[in-house]
Amino acid sequence: MGHSRLPKAFLRGPPDSTVKNEPRPVVGCGIARSILDMNKPMTHETPTIGHNVREHGVCGDGNTDDAPAIQRLLAQSKPILYFPAGHYRIGSPLRLPSHTRLHAHSLARFQLADGAGKDVNTFLLCNADPERGNENITVRGGIWDGNTTHNPRGVETDRNAYTGVMLNFHNVRNLTLLDMRQKNPSAYHTRLSGVRGFRIERIRFEDTVLAANQDGIHVAGCCEDGLIRDISAVGESCTGDDLIAINADDALDRSETRGKLGGPIRRLRVERLRADDCHSFVRLASVWSTIEDIEITDAIGGCRVNMVNADALRFCLSPLFRKDDERYAGGVGLLRNIHIRNVRVFKTGTDRSPMFRLHERMVDFKVEDFERVWEHDAAREAPTLEVAYVPATEIVLEGVDGLAVEELAAASSCTRFDTVRMVGFQTRTPLHRVVADTDVAGRFVSGCLRFEKFRVEDSRIDPLPEPNWMVAKGQYIVKGR
C-alpha cells in the first residue's frame, strides 16, 4: 500500500476545507496559544541559596573567561554554587563532580566562548569523570548557549574533532536538570549516555541559529529510569532535529555521536511536549538493542516531519545495516511496551512522511487518544500511520469513523481486514474498530485524522545477527553513493 492509495476523504479533508501545502500561521487556535505562551519568561525562579560565585572570583561580565574560576570552586567541593544574573563566558568545559548542585538565575547566561569547541572532549557542561562515573548532580536555571556561529563542528573524518554537543552526561547516577533555556548548539542540546535515574524538567529550546542534528534531549544507549517532562521548542525550525531522541543504536563514529554508547534503554516517562515547529517530536531508534517500558503522554503542536519516527535509521546518512542484507529481511529493532497517549499535532511543512513512521519490530506498541489538527496541517497528503518492513500479526485501530473505515478497506491489500461497530461511545457518528495485519509487502498505512486507540500486538521477533564493528559504526561504504 503506497501513499497514492490513501483514502480519498483523507486527501480532500473535512467538508469545505482547502488543501494548501504550505506552512500555516497558527495564531488564534487553542492549541496555538498553548505553544505561544512558551515565549513568556521561565516562571520557576531558582532560589538564591548556596555560595554566590560573584563573591569568589567569578566575573559574569561577558568578557572574562569564567571557566577557570568556576572550575576552582567546583574542585573545592562546595555543596551548592549560585550564579546571579550575568553573562558567563566559558572557554573550557565546566566539569561537574559528584554531589554538585549548580543553581543559576533565569538570566544567568552561560555561553561557550568563541573558538572554545576544540576537540571531542569539549562541551559547555559535562560530568567530571565519565570513565569511573559520577552521581547526584543537579543543574537548575540559566540560559545555556552553544554559540554555534563561532564553534562549528569539526570535520567528520577527524576523530578528535569537536562534536557540537552542548551538555553531555556520561555514566551518571541520579542526574537532575531543571528550569533551563538552551540554545544554538552545533549538534545536540543535551546528550545522555549510560545515565541511570534522571529527571529533566521544564526545559525550553530557543534556537536562533540552525545546525544539523540539533536534537533537544538525546537519550543514548544504556539509559534507564528517567523522567522527561515539560519540554518546549519555541520558534521556527526549532528544534532542528528530534525534540526527544531515544536512540538505543546509532552510527557511533559520526562527529556528533562520538563518545556515546549503544545499548538498551528502559523505563522512561516523557510528559508534556510542546513545539511550534520541531523536526519530529520523538525518535525511537532501535536496530539490535531493545527500547522498552516507555510512556509518552501529552504532545501538542507542530512538527515538520514526524510525531514518532521509528525507522531504524534507515534513511540516515550512516545507516546501520544494508537494506539488501537478507539477514534483516524479517525486520530489525525491538520496541517493547511503548504507550503513547493524548496527542494533538499537525504538520508545519510539506514533508510527506507519515506522522507515525513505524519501521521497527514491536511488541505491545499502543497509541491512545490521537487527533491530527487538520485546520493547521500543511501536508495533508501525508499519511497518519505507517507500519512497514515488519510482518505484524495483528494491528488494531479503534474509534475511527465509518467513512474512514470504508475508504481504508477500499485501499487496503492486507490479508486480514475485519471491522465492527463500537458501542458505548457518545459521538455524532458511529465509531468502528478495525483489526488487520500488514500486506504481503509488510506494510499498513492509514490516513485517519483521529482515533481512540492504535495498537500493534505482536510483530514476528526472529533473532538478529550480531553487528560487526564496521556496520555498527556506520563506516561501510555503499557503492554508487
Q: What is the pTM of this model?
A: 0.88
Q: What is the mean pLDDT of residues 305-330?
A: 87
Same domain, yes or no, for 90 and 138?
Answer: yes
- Asked if residue 428 has pLDDT above 80, the reply is no
Same domain, yes or no, for 333 and 445?
Answer: no
Residue 292 lies in a domain: yes
Residue 264 lies in a domain: yes
Residue 145 lies in a domain: yes
- Asked if residue 79 has pLDDT above 90, the reply is no
Cβ atoms 211, 186 nearer than 8 A: yes
Same domain, yes or no, for 414 and 371?
Answer: no
Same domain, yes or no, for 279 and 428?
Answer: no
Greatest extent of the chain over all pairs of C-alpha atoms, in Å: 73
Residue 221: pLDDT band with limits 50, 70, 90? very high
What distance in Å separates the CA atoms of residue 175 and residue 127, rounded to the nearest whole number?
A: 10
Task: Output the pLDDT for position 13.
Answer: 37
Residue 139: pLDDT band with limits 50, 70, 90? very high
| Domain containing residue 305: CATH number | 2.160.20.10
Residue 176 lies in a domain: yes
Over residues 371-417, the pLDDT tens digits come to: 999 999 999 999 999 998 887 668 888 888 877 777 676 666 666 77
- Asked if residue 38 has pLDDT above 80, the reply is no
Tell me which residue range forms the domain holding 421.
1-9+398-463
The beta strands (E) that lie in 348-449 are given as 356-358, 362-372, 385-387, 392-401, 417-421, 431-436, 444-446
Radius of gyration (C-alpha) of the chain in whole angstroms:
23
- Asked if residue 123 has pLDDT above 80, the reply is yes
Query: How many other CB atoms are there within 10 angstroms of residue 159's CB atom?
Result: 11
Residue 481 lies in a domain: no
- Asked if residue 27 has pLDDT above 70, the reply is no
Helices (H), 76-163: none
What burial letters (b/e) apply to 182-200, b meaning 16+ CB within 10 Å?
Answer: bbbbbbbbbbbbbbbbbbb
Same domain, yes or no, for 337 and 419?
Answer: no
Residue 472 lies in a domain: no
Task: Output the pLDDT for position 338.
Answer: 97
Residue 468 lies in a domain: no
What distance in Å separates the CA atoms of residue 246 and residue 358, rounded to the nearest whole number?
A: 14
Task: Output the pLDDT for position 10.
Answer: 29
Residue 321: pLDDT band with limits 50, 70, 90? confident
Task: Output the pLDDT for position 271.
Answer: 98
Q: Which of 22-36, 274-288, 314-328 has the lowest mean pLDDT?
A: 22-36
Please give the mean pLDDT across all residues of the chain: 85
Range from 26-30, 132-136, 390-394 that averages highest in pLDDT: 132-136
Task: Output the pLDDT for position 277.
Answer: 97
Grid cell of 105 as nine digits: 538565575
Same domain, yes or no, for 154 and 217?
Answer: yes
Task: Output the pLDDT for position 29.
Answer: 40
Task: Output the pLDDT for position 18.
Answer: 34
- Specify the residue for cell string 503542536: 301
Rounded to whole angstroms, what are the CA distances from 44 to 103, 202, 252? 12, 9, 37
Over residues 150-174, the pLDDT tens digits come to: 999 988 888 899 999 999 999 999 9
Same domain, yes or no, for 334 and 447?
Answer: no
How many separate domains does the chain show? 2
Same domain, yes or no, for 149 and 177?
Answer: yes
Return the closest-CA partner of residue 432 out of 443, 417, 444.
Answer: 417
Residue 269 lies in a domain: yes
Same domain, yes or no, for 342 and 306?
Answer: yes
Task: Output the pLDDT for position 265.
Answer: 96
Q: In this prediction, what percent of the chain has a pLDDT beyond 70?
A: 83
Same domain, yes or no, for 405 and 362?
Answer: no
Same domain, yes or no, for 293 and 411?
Answer: no
Say which residue, 105 or 252, is predicted with more confidence.
105
Same domain, yes or no, for 231 and 350?
Answer: yes
The beta strands (E) that lie in 184-288 are given as 190-205, 217-219, 224-233, 244-247, 265-285
Task: Output the pLDDT for position 5.
Answer: 32
Cβ atoms 216, 233 nearer than 8 A: yes
Instruction: Tell me the β-bridge partners of 300.
Output: 274, 344
